[in-house]
A = this chain, B = another copy of it.
């Protein structure tokens, strides 16, 4: 089993501004080696997103990868560890998408870019996003603490832009923490309801960027 964390940031580096097409790459997991470990991981993402972590059996994951149940344990020491690697990767990818999108000369431009990219990521990668956002309780306390650090960084990224806009007078925000959470909520909830037939991720990103901007503009 190779170390996944070291390679987590590879693909999101390609994203610039609201160039959300870059996050639609199908080869998201190409850095996971060997191929058997990658098949197990992508099978687990699909299964966890479809049925949830607890309802997914190791037999199901193994069979999606074309293996016997026992073969899973050669690559991952437990089902929870598989979830953790997916969750850690997903959180880092989401944070990197935000950091790469935080470009623009005004708080309004930056906010629109952040919301568009974060929303499009949740739509395009709705299976990973579903695991990231809704399977936190299945993590061990230690692993949860690790991803919680990344979650705080994600929240801070949005809050900072809103605070900048308030300072220069382009935004009117009565409750900064509450509005930060609301803006994040809008994008995160996409993972709950999105399916490919519900529209283009980039178009959804643009709509949500507009809605978020209107929520705070003076």
Alpha-carbon gap, A189 to B179, bound state (A): 13
- Looking at A174, A181, A199, A204, the one whose CB has the most chain B CB atoms below 10 A away is A181
Question: What are 28 of the A-B contact pairs (CB < 8 Å)?
Answer: A51-B137, A52-B52, A52-B137, A54-B54, A54-B55, A55-B137, A55-B138, A133-B192, A134-B192, A174-B207, A178-B199, A178-B204, A178-B207, A179-B207, A182-B186, A182-B207, A182-B208, A182-B211, A185-B185, A185-B189, A185-B190, A186-B186, A188-B189, A188-B192, A189-B192, A214-B215, A214-B217, A215-B215
Alpha-carbon gap, A7 to B160, bound state (A): 48
Nearest B-chain residue to A55, judged by Cβ: B54
Q: Which residues of B contact A185 (CB under 8 A)?
A: 185-186, 189-190, 192-193
Nearest B-chain residue to A52, judged by Cβ: B54
